[in-house]
Amino acid sequence: MMNRRSFVKRSMLGVVPLLLPTKVFSLFVYNNNNTFIHGVASGDPTNDAVIIWTHINTKLSGVLNVEWQVALDQNFKNMVRKDFAITSSEKDFTIKVDVTGLESNHTYFYRFIFNDTVSDVGVCKTLPTSVSNGLQIAVISCNNYEDGYFTSFRHIADNQDIDYVFHLGDYIYEYGTGQYCNKTFLEQSNRINDPLHELLSLEDYRKRYALYRKDKELQKAHRNKSFICIWDDHELVNNAYFGGAKNHQPNEGSWRDRSAAAVQAYFEWMPVRAKSTSEMIRSIKIGNEASFFFMEERLDGRDKQLLSNDPEKLSPQRKMISKKQFDHLAEELKNSDARWNFLVNQVMFTGYKSKKEESVKEEDWWTGYPYQREQLIEVFEGLKNPPIILTGDHHQSHVLELNSDDTQTKKSPIAWEFLTPSITSKNDDRLSSEQIAKKSKLLYKLNPHMIYNEIAAHGYFILNVEKKEIKITYKFNEDILLPNSGEKQGPDFTIDNSNKLTKNV
């Protein structure tokens, strides 16, 4: 809490320091006492609101009173909102404010002040009511701290054309140090997990988020762009489902307690409006041009994954998502008047073969839930325009046509799926260039519905939505093992108003 001296000083200043002469403003020093070492963030923008976030690094106890300010300019001369928010150890000293009453399609600047220390200035943007001027979204997933540097976040932050960021999950990884990593990178970089062991408790999950949010590249992306996020499994545990996870063992305590701890830490540390699993299922509509449906495929009714040869896999009772979520999604898609409908999705829907003879494995994709997958395909078939599925989790870049028949050879696809590569998490990047080329060639041969694959690069793609076409452009990191790596251009794909997909080199 503010001490008496601080309170008197703030009262004299009228709680608007940057409206005062420079001499008085010099009382406020940015980040001189490590109060805001985890940066600032914004997320879940609407037409008239946005979430702003920070964390207070403190050894104090009790309730802390933190000021927040939102302005039209980075010097905070044109203040539009300001107030105080409280935090405590019960929230891990995180601050999350839902700032309302804003104008649509506006850029705002925000900051926090605690004990006369001012945070970095963040930039956020409310949603537009139309895509008439174009809408550009970076679509990302899977940033593993021990697999490489997060330089792609800096590339996103520095790209002024990107309006928002969709993070499709695996924002953190729950493994202990060295359990899931690039061991050579780990030895050379000394980027080591905190805590060192696998995450089990609320304190464990909080520490892991705190570690990730100290990363300067990730901080810069959060500071410059508003994120809209969904989680996948590693924010919880590998291959999580409603009643457990592949990576959760009986000697690790209650699954209910562990998953609750993971979700609590997520809500504390991420700039999301949701306060429950069901509220993570949400949608965004921009005019009659674009609708985005954000799905939750871990805790909302998913049944345990089965081996690919298990006959129970075909059961009509098995679910990837709850009936409630499925029915809501189906109804939203059927009634949507948007030209472009997007499913913002955790795990691959379309599927593909990677070997002539597939080995028996646990199926975590939608293909492991064939009955409900087929039900959703029937919904797609009844739509005027094919939906576009934006998918994370897979660590590789793929563009896939989804067709009604099993051979995946129908000329008019009923959907397209674009898989974003990982920011750093392992893919085929450990293979030689010859092995990569051979595997990539085989994928095309085995999968006539595969339009594109890049199995060893890391990065993201940019979705550009316009009234009459959408474009997806892949951006690849030159080398995630180097701290100042550059970025290289990947291919881009256009879907026009007649639902024709074109690949541009």
My answer on whether omega of the bond before 311 falls inside 30° of 0, hence cis, is no
| pLDDT score for 358 | 85
The CA distance from 487 to 155, in Å, is 7
Burial class (CB in 10 A: 0-12, 13-18, 19+), 320: buried
For 148-160, b/e burial (b = at least 16 CB within 10 A) is bbbbbbbbbbeee
The CA distance from 156 to 223, in Å, is 11
Comparing CA positions, the residue from 365, 332, 335 lying closest to residue 348 is 365
| pLDDT score for 405 | 65
For 266-287, b/e burial (b = at least 16 CB within 10 A) is bbbbbbbbbeebeebbbbbbbe
| pLDDT score for 44 | 98
| Partner residues linked to 417 by β-bridges | 389, 400
- CATH number for 4-123 (one of 3.40.1030.10, 3.30.1300.10, 3.40.50.300, 2.60.40.380): it is 2.60.40.380
Q: Which fold has domain 135-504?
A: Purple Acid Phosphatase; chain A, domain 2 (3.60.21)
| pLDDT score for 27 | 38
Residue written as token pair 């790209």: 159
Going by C-beta distance under 8 Å and a sequence separation of 6 or more, which residues neighbour residue 203? none
Mean pLDDT by 10-residue block, N- to C-terminus, for the chain (505 residues)?
39 34 36 83 98 96 96 97 98 98 98 96 98 96 98 98 98 97 94 98 98 98 98 98 96 97 98 98 96 98 96 96 98 97 98 90 96 97 96 98 68 92 97 97 97 98 97 98 96 96 89
Q: What is the torsion angle, in degrees rounded to the nearest 10, for the CA atoms of residue 372, residue 373, residue 374 and residue 375?
A: 50
Q: Report the alpha-carbon angle 315-318-319, nearest 5.
A: 145
Find out whether 392 and 365 touch, Cβ atoms under 8 Å: no
| pLDDT score for 130 | 96
Domain boundaries, the chain: 4-123, 135-504
The CA distance from 298 to 296, in Å, is 6
